[in-house]
Structure 1
Amino acid sequence: MDDIQLALRKMLVEDLFVEVPQAEIGADDRLRTEFGLDSLGFVELRVLCEQHFGIKISDEEFSPENFTSINSVAALIRDLQAAQRV
């Protein structure tokens, strides 16, 4: 588990009030079905990620595929951070 995944778990519990202990959140657990994130929750997660990681998530990148699980969000963040360094 890397720093991005740890930060995402913390955001889910502390900022989005997911009622699952951070240690029990699996990297591939579904954000919508297993943690009950709704459309507003996903928008809030997008903003939190942009602020915390210093990235910009475009409307095109803000897709269900990229916001399925901790792993998919973390992969998007890594890709956006790498693109910024180029």
Structure 2
Amino acid sequence: MHEELTANIKKILINNLFVELPPEQIGADDGLQAVIGLDSVGFLELRVICEDEFGVRISDEDFNADNFRTVNQLVSLIVGLKTRAQGGAW
């Protein structure tokens, strides 16, 4: 499940946010701001796209630098949100 989410987030970065790197060069622990180059608008777009794509609601509290620092941290957030929404069954 984590691998599929990771691949989907990389696709979002490339196709929707125009990151000019091939997916295999985007490390799961690379900084989305420092390494990938997302700016504040990019993070807002990423939030909205993830909500739509993965059927989650990212609260203002969850929309923070820790949860959006890397692809892995974003995957963990999405898995946690889906698990909570489905009563621990995801």
Return the TM-score normalized by structure 1: 0.97
Distance in 2, Cα, partners of 1:36 & 1:6: 18
* Equivalenced residues, count: 86
The aligned residue for residue 43 of structure 1 is: 44
Distance in 2, Cα, partners of 1:42 & 1:7: 16
User: What's the CA shift for 1:79?
Assistant: 0.1
User: What's the CA shift for 1:24?
Assistant: 1.0
Identity, % of aligned positions: 44
Which letter maps to 1:72? Answer: Q
Stretches of 4+ aligned residues off by more than 3 angstroms: none
State the structure with bigger RCO (CA 8 A, min sep 6), 1 or 2: 1
The aligned residue for residue 31 of structure 1 is: 32
Return the TM-score normalized by structure 2: 0.93
Which letter maps to 1:69? Answer: T
Where does the alignment leave 5 or more consecutive residues of structure 2 unmatched?
Answer: none
1:11-42 CA distance string (max 9 Å, x none): 00000000110111100000001111000000
Tell me how large the CA RMSD over aligned residues is: 0.8
The aligned residue for residue 3 of structure 1 is: 4
